[in-house]
Amino acid sequence: MDLYQLTAHRLHEMLVKKEVSAAEITKAVFQRIEQVEDKVNSYITLTQETAEAQAAEVDKRLAAGEAIEPLAGIPVALKDNLCTEGIRTTCASKMLGDFVPPYTATAVQRLYDANLVLVGKTNLDEFAMGSSTENSKFHLTHNPWDAERVPGGSSGGSAAAVAAGQAIVSLGTDTGGSIRQPASYCGVVGMKPTYGGVSRYGAVPFASSLDQIGPITKDVTDMAHMLNVICGHDPLDSTSANLQHPDFTKYLVNDIKGLKIGVPKEYLAEGIDSQVKNRIKEAIEKMTELGAYVEETSMPHTDYAMPAYYLLATAEASSNLARYDGVSFGFRVADAEDIVDMFKRSRSQGFGDEVKLRIMLGTYSLSAGYYDAYYLKALKVRTLIKQDFDQALEKYDLLLGPTSPSTAFKIGELINDPIKMYLQDICTIPVNLAGLPAISLPCGLVNNLPVGLQLIGKAFDEGTLLQAAFTFEQNTEHHRLRPEL
């Protein structure tokens, strides 16, 4: 098997035994990028010189007989809304097309400290606003399973890169499903940790009360190792939880006997593709066979999650994106007549259509005459949705359902129908509103396209999710399936 197809933990074993060098792993990944990037278009920026230098440092440590960290020398891709000092960070937008941050995101710095190797910055929907990566200013990213289909979004480049062997692991951000949904579409593992579990410092904000950085990996073991690196308190992020995180690899136990799993009936209701339902039902049967207690439950306010989310997320986006005015940084028109003209034209030309749509929706819902009718009501609905989860998770150890209502759709199929596009996140959005952890992992194929199984856990109980996901993975072959490029 080629090096780029292997998991991080297998490559670590090979590095320690000196069966391979970090330089050879890095070379294999860049050769793979050269081979398939024109078909997939995962990346906006490649950092080959940086990667080779980082790999050489790991090889020096190995040659000196030093012990290395579990992910040292492993090639990683970063979603291009995570700040990297000295390396362009664009958010796939004309507004930040030439922006080079003066600092590095905390989660990224922790990867550097663990001696991972930075391959490059991946494509996304502009400012992480979208479900297909079609809203990028730069180019379309294609699903490695079918080049005519989307990879999901907004972290489509990060998911496609891992699925295509263009990176071994990656980081994305998840505001309403933007890690889990592309992981589902691309047949890889994606996790949104509990809100506050991973520092948001250095992640360009979309909706600050919803955004969360998380990993995308080839299997659950790699996910545990990535969480060990990026989780933890950060004084630079006021929403970072000051908690001691466990060693997540201790939860990689092949046993779910007695685990109580709830299946919200709303997550398998009308609107979910019948073949996707079949894969989820097969996963439920497997969980039951492995000793878990699985039963149907109800989350009565699920139908209100999407409208509440799009009011809250757009309101926060309207506020967060107000900083891009052509003054401090970002795109600025060169021939403005006066300062007002500069503001208007810099924002009109610097932002794409989807971003402008969301800014307008958010500004409207925050305006004086509509704040109580829309934004305040959406906050109350968010509380009801969180209460649904609280009540369900008092009875169950975790909840189970599909990650997405369908498999990957064709490029251009939904781009002119925003409501249908937004509905692709209907199963993931409630989790962000409640601030809970959730993982998506492969559970089969429909017409040779991956289906994602979503497990939702209690706050800061990523361990139980990992154990359930690991047990399912160890007793099925779904995670071994790879696209043929």
The 3-class secondary structure across the chain, one letter per residue, is: CCHHHCCHHHHHHHHHCCCCCHHHHHHHHHHHHHHHHHHHCCEEEECHHHHHHHHHHHHHHHHCCCCCCCCCCCEEEEECCECECCECCCCCCHHHCCCCCCCCCHHHHHHHHCCCEEEEEECCCHHHCCCCCCCCCCCCCCECCECCECCCCCCHHHHHHHHCCCCCEEEEECCCCCCHHHHHHHCCEEEECCCCCECCCCECCCCCCCCCEEEEECCHHHHHHHHHHHECCCCCCCCCCCCCCCCHHHHCCCCCCCCEEEEEHHHHCCCCCHHHHHHHHHHHHHHHHCCCEEEEECCCCHHHHHHHHHHHHHHHHHHHHHHCCCCCCCCCCCCCCCHHHHHHHHHHHHCCHHHHHHHHHHHHHHCCCCHHHHHHHHHHHHHHHHHHHHHHHHHCCEEEEECCCCCCCECCCCCCCHHHHHHHHCCCHHHHHHCCCEEEEEEEEECCEEEEEEEEECCCCHHHHHHHHHHHHHCCCHHHCCCCC
Residue 416's pLDDT is 87
- Give the β-pairing of 117-122 and 75-79: parallel
CA distances from 7 to 4, 225, 279 (A): 8, 11, 25
Tokens matching residue 97: 């097309």
CA pair distance 460, 457, nearest whole angstrom:
8
Residue 1's pLDDT is 79
Domain borders along the chain are: 3-259+405-480
Query: Which numeric CATH code is attached to 3-259+405-480?
Result: 3.90.1300.10
Residue 125's pLDDT is 98
Cβ atoms 361, 309 nearer than 8 A: no
Residue with tokens 């994606």: 190
- Which residues make Cβ contacts (< 8 Å) with residue 17, sequence separation at least 6? none
Asked if the peptide bond before residue 154 counts as cis, ω within 30 degrees of 0, the response is yes
CA pair distance 241, 260, nearest whole angstrom:
27
Q: Which of 349, 353, 347, 350 is nearest to 322 (CA)?
A: 347
Residue 328's pLDDT is 84
- Which residues make Cβ contacts (< 8 Å) with residue 401, sequence separation at least 6? 263, 264, 267, 268, 280, 427, 454, 456
Residue 167's pLDDT is 98
Residue 134's pLDDT is 97
CA pair distance 314, 438, nearest whole angstrom:
23
The one-digit pLDDT tens for each residue of the chain (485 residues) are 799 999 999 999 999 999 999 999 999 999 999 999 999 999 999 999 999 999 999 999 999 999 999 999 999 999 999 999 999 999 999 999 999 999 999 999 999 999 999 999 999 999 999 999 999 999 999 999 999 999 999 999 999 999 999 999 999 999 999 999 999 999 999 999 999 999 999 999 999 999 999 999 999 999 999 999 999 999 999 999 999 999 999 999 999 999 999 999 999 998 999 999 999 999 999 999 999 999 999 999 999 999 999 999 999 999 999 999 999 889 999 999 999 999 999 999 999 999 999 999 999 999 988 999 999 999 999 999 999 999 999 999 999 999 999 999 999 999 888 888 998 999 999 999 999 999 999 999 999 999 999 999 999 999 999 999 999 999 999 988 999 88
Catalytic residue positions? 79, 154, 178
